[in-house]
Amino acid sequence: MRLLDKFELLAGFGKFPTVILGNPAARDFELIDLERIPLEPSLEMDYKARGLHFCGTFAIFDGKGRCEFAEALDADSIVALAGAYAQLVRTKMQERASGSTDWLKDLYNLPDNRNKEMN
């Protein structure tokens, strides 16, 4: 039996899982929404040409935003990536809200951690 690493855990079990591809030296990053893969071949070629590689994962896990990085990134890049991820989640929640009640089910299923944080 193989244990999941921290990236697989977020990508496989988190809500709105997103992979960070980047070239930290050039401060060039892309967020890849795992719910919208596979990628078009032209995008894959573009990412390779830009020297992008796996840098980490974002997801909502246990009701909280989580990130795991495969390498150290500078603070400005982390802040920009977190902002971009928050916007991606906001957009996806708005898409769900406009077309169905699925977003209400997701909201209802979020764990209530208020009592945990107070103790």
7-57: pLDDT as tens digits = 888 888 899 999 999 999 999 999 999 988 888 999 999 999 999 999 999
Residue at 1 is within a domain: no
**Across 56-60, 67-71, 99-103, least confident range:** 99-103
Note the pLDDT tens digit of each residue in 47-57: 999 999 999 99
Residue at 95 is within a domain: yes
Which residue spans within 24-102 are E strands per DSSP? Answer: 28-33, 53-61, 64-69
pTM across the whole model: 0.77
Residue at 105 is within a domain: yes
Residue at 16 is within a domain: yes
Residue at 97 is within a domain: yes
Note the pLDDT tens digit of each residue in 63-97: 889 999 999 999 999 999 999 999 999 998 887 76
Are 41 and 49 a contacting pair, CB within 8 Å?
Answer: no
Residue at 82 is within a domain: yes
Domain membership of residue 32 as a residue range:
6-118
Residue at 38 is within a domain: yes
How, if at all, do strands 28-33 and 15-23 pair? antiparallel
Q: ∠36-110-87 over CA atoms, to 5°?
A: 45
Q: What is the tally of structural domains in the chain?
A: 1
As a dihedral over the C-alpha atoms of residue 95, residue 99, residue 104, residue 105, rounded to 10 degrees, the angle is: -100
